[in-house]
C-alpha cells in the first residue's frame, strides 16, 4: 500500500514508518514547508531516512489539492506535545489548533477528490483522555466523552476528520493510552527517579492508567490501515489497565528498585499546574473491546512484559 504519514517525527510516527516499510508498504511523510535553519532542521527530523516527502503547512492551509490522490491510506499523528509546558491560555489553544487544523485540512483534501480516487482510509490519532476522569468505570469505545480540557480536545480532534467520513472514506480514531518506550513519553520521564529508588505511586495510587507498548501500538495502527471492518473509535490500549500504584510496583520489579515513595497530588499540582489532573491524576479504565472482538493479539498484554520489552528497546 501507498501510505501518507503525518506526524512522522514523533515517538509513535518514528516507530510506525519503519514498521510499515519493513512490512512492504511505501511511506511518504508529510513535512512542513521549511524556512530558516530551525525549520529545515525540524523537517530533517521528520524525515530521518531521506525517504519520499510531501510538503504542507496546516497553519496556512497549504497542501496541494491533488497531492493525496493515489494514496491508499492516510495516517495522521500530528499535534504539539500536550505535556510540554504549563497549560496557559495560549498553550491550550495551540494544543487544540495543532490537531484540528491539520486533521481538517487532510479530511477536506480527501473529500474534494473524485469518488474512486480517494484514499480508502484515514487514521487520525486521538487519546483515552476523551473519557476524562471516570473512577472505577470500565470504558469501552461506546462510553460517552468525559469533561474537561483533554476531553474537549479529543472530541474536536475526532470531529475534524468528519469531511472525509461524510465523503465515504473509512475513518478510524485510535484512542491511545500511555505509550511505553524508554525513548520518550511518560515512561522515559519516570525512569530517572525510579532508577534511583525514588519512585512510587502518583497521587492516591488508585487511579487507573490505560497503557500500551510502543510495538503493539504500531501493530494496532497497521491493523487499522488494512482491516476494513474497523472504523470509528478504537481504544489503542492493552487489555490490562493498572492503577498508579500497580504501575509503580511493576516498574520497580522490572528495574529491581524499591517503588514505595508516593508523589502527592498537591506536589504535582504545584509542579505542573492544571495538566497534572487529566494527565496523571485522572482515572481512565479503558479497555480495547473492538480490537479484542476483531481478534487482535497483543504481543505484551501484561504490564511487566511490556515494561521489560521497553527497557530492552523493543516495546
Which cell numbers hold the place of 17? Answer: 514508518
Structure confidence at residue 270 (pLDDT): 65
What are the residue boundaries of the structural domains of the chain, listed by start?
Answer: 2-178+214-237+286-297
Per-residue pLDDT tens digits for 155-207: 999 999 999 999 999 999 999 999 999 998 888 888 998 999 988 898 899 99
Asked whether 6 and 161 are in contact (CB, 8 A), the reply is no
For residues 315 and 309, give the distance between their C-alpha atoms in angstroms, rounded to a whole number: 5
DSSP string of 28-89? EEEEEPP-SHHHHHHHHHH-TT---EEEEBGGGTB--TTTTTT-SEEEE-----TTSS---H
Place domain 2-178+214-237+286-297 in its CATH homologous superfamily. NAD(P)-binding Rossmann-like Domain (3.40.50.720)
Count Cα atoms within 13 angstroms, Cβ side, for 221: 31
For residues 29 and 233, give the distance between their C-alpha atoms in angstroms, rounded to a whole number: 24
Residues of the chain with confidence (pLDDT) below 50: 35-46, 48, 50
Residues for the chain: how many in total? 315
Local structure of residue 286 (DSSP, 8 states): E
Structure confidence at residue 264 (pLDDT): 77
Structure confidence at residue 36 (pLDDT): 39
For residues 90 and 307, give the distance between their C-alpha atoms in angstroms, rounded to a whole number: 35
Is the pTM higher than 0.85?
A: yes
For residues 203 and 199, give the distance between their C-alpha atoms in angstroms, rounded to a whole number: 12
Q: What is the distance of C-alpha 119 from the center of its chain? A: 21
| Sign of the torsion formed by the C-alpha atoms of 118, 123, 124 and 129 | positive
What residues form DSSP beta bridges with 285?
138
Task: Report residue 44: phi and psi, to 5°.
Answer: -65, -40
Structure confidence at residue 210 (pLDDT): 96
Amino acid at each position: 500500500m501507498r501510505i501518507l504519514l503525518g506526524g512522522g517525527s514523533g515517538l509513535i510516527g518514528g516507530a510506525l514508518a519503519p514498521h510499515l516499510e519493513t512490512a512492504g508498504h511505501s511511506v511518504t511523510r508529510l513535512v512542513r514547508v521549511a524556512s530558516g535553519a530551525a525549520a529545515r532542521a525540524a523537517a530533517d527530523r521528520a524525515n530521518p531516512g531521506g525517504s519520499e516527502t510531501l510538503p504542507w503547512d496546516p497553519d496556512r492551509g497549504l497542501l496541494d489539492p491533488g497531492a493525496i490522490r493515489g494514496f491508499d491510506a492516510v495516517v495522521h499523528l500530528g499535534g504539539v506535545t500536550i505535556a510540554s509546558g504549563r497549560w496557559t491560555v495560549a498553550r491550550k489553544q495551540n494544543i487544540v489548533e495543532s490537531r484540528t487544523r491539520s486533521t481538517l485540512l487532510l479530511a477536506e483534501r480527501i473529500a474534494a477528490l473524485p469518488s474512486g480516487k480517494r484514499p480508502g482510509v484515514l487514521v487520525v490519532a486521538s487519546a483515552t483522555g476523551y473519557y476524562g476522569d471516570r473512577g472505577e468505570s470500565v470504558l469501552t469505545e461506546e462510553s460517552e466523552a468525559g469533561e474537561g480540557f483533554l476531553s474537549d480536545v479529543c472530541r474536536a480532534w475526532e470531529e475534524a476528520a468528519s469531511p472525509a467520513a461524510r465523503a465515504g472514506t473509512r475513518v478510524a480514531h485510535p484512542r491511545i493510552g500511555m505509550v511505553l518506550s524508554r525513548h520518550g513519553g511518560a515512561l522515559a520521564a519516570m525512569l530517572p527517579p525510579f532508577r534511583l529508588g525514588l519512585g512510587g505511586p502518583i497521587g492516591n495510587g488508585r487511579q487507573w492508567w490505560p497503557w500500551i507498548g510502543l510495538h503493539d501500538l504500531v501493530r494496532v495502527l497497521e491493523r487499522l490501515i488494512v482491516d476494513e471492518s474497523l472504523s470509528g473509535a478504537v481504544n489503542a490500549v492493552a487489555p490490562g489497565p493498572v492503577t498508579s500504584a500497580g504501575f509503580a510496583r511493576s516498574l520497580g520489579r522490572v528495574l529491581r528498585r524499591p517503588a514505595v515513595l508516593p508523589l502527592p497530588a498537591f506536589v504535582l499540582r504545584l509542579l505542573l499546574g492544571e495538566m497534572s489532573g487529566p494527565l496523571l491524576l485522572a482515572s481512565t479504565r479503558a479497555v480495547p473491546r473492538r480490537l479484542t472482538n476483531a481478534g487482535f493479539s497483543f504481543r505484551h498484554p501484561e504490564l511487566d512484559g511490556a515494561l521489560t520489552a521497553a527497557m530492552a528497546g523493543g516495546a
